[in-house]
């Protein structure tokens, strides 16, 4: 009797395991996820000199289960860290890696999708995009709000700066020269950029705090969102 119960328990365990594996395989086939890396480079002129910041950002796209009509059919996320442009005595300029940065490659290589489509909505469209290679210029309207840190040691010195209005936010001789997106076989194998926490050591404590607390900034006022600056998970 005991042996029969053991066999039954083992059989049930195997049945459940096969079922779980089968469900996972089915889910991956019907709701696939894709990932790629690209290089974002930003050139800013300040004091008659061009300052360049560049970084490797990983983008993940995944098809989602659509329960309600108004729910997105895909998820999109950028991984890595903000692109940092060192302006010397004028401090640092950060390009946060929020939602806008996750869409930049698709908008830059806009010939991949219909004119009215900003991001791939199906696995077929995503697979077509993954074949793209090359370097493309990015117009300033596709870039997110920059963050200017005149004093990198003091997070309270941070403030927003529109890419098109750097001369107003920072100084009359400061302006965006260019920005590019690059996708190549070499970059697809390159790790995302890291190390920003060494330049901004206060970011470690801020990230830990914001992971445990809901931080809501006031509309129209500058506020830090640590996950848009540093997230390599």
Domains held by the chain: number:
1
Tens digit of pLDDT for each residue in 197-230?
999 999 999 999 988 887 776 666 788 889 899 9
Residue 1 falls inside a structural domain: no
Residue 5 falls inside a structural domain: no
Residue 3 has pLDDT above 70, yes or no: no
Residue 115 falls inside a structural domain: yes
Which residues are within 8 A (CB) of 11 and not within 5 positions of it... i.e. 6 or more apart? none
Residue 19 falls inside a structural domain: no
Tens digit of pLDDT for each residue in 32-41?
889 999 999 9
At 100 the pLDDT is 87
Residue 99 has pLDDT above 80, yes or no: no
Residue 30 has pLDDT above 60, yes or no: no
At 219 the pLDDT is 65
Residue 159 falls inside a structural domain: yes
Which residues are within 8 A (CB) of 183 and not within 5 positions of it... i.e. 6 or more apart? 36, 37, 38, 39, 105, 109, 132, 133, 134
154 against 9, higher pLDDT: 154
Task: Please tell me the pTM assigned to this model.
Answer: 0.82
Give the domain extent around 45.
29-231
121 against 140, higher pLDDT: 140
Residue 187 falls inside a structural domain: yes
């Amino acid at each position: 009797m005991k042996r029969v119960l053991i066999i039954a328990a083992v059989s049930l365990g195997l049945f459940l395991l096969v079922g779980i594996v089968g469900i996972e395989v089915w889910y991956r086939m019907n709701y696939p996820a894709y990932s790629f890396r690209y290089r974002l480079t930003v050139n800013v002129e300040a004091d008659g000199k061009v300052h360049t910041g560049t970084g490797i950002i990983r983008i993940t796209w995944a098809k989602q289960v659509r329960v309600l009509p108004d729910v997105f059919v895909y998820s999109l996320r950028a991984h890595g860290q903000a692109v940092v442009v060192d302006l010397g005595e004028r401090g640092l300029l950060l390009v946060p890696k929020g939602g806008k940065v996750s869409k930049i490659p698709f908008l830059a290589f806009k010939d991949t999708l219909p004119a009215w489509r900003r991001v791939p909505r199906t696995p077929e469209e995503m697979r077509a995009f993954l074949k793209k290679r090359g370097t493309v210029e990015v117009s300033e309207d596709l870039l997110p709000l920059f963050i200017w840190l005149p004093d990198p040691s003091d997070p309270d010195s941070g403030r927003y700066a529109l890419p098109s209005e750097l001369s107003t936010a920072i100084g009359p001789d400061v302006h965006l020269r260019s920005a590019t997106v690059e996708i190549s076989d070499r970059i697809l194998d390159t790790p995302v950029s890291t190390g920003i926490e060494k330049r901004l050591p206060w970011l470690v404590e801020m990230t830990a705090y914001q992971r445990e607390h809901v931080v809501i900034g006031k509309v129209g006022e500058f506020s830090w969102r640590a996950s848009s600056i540093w997230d390599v998970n």
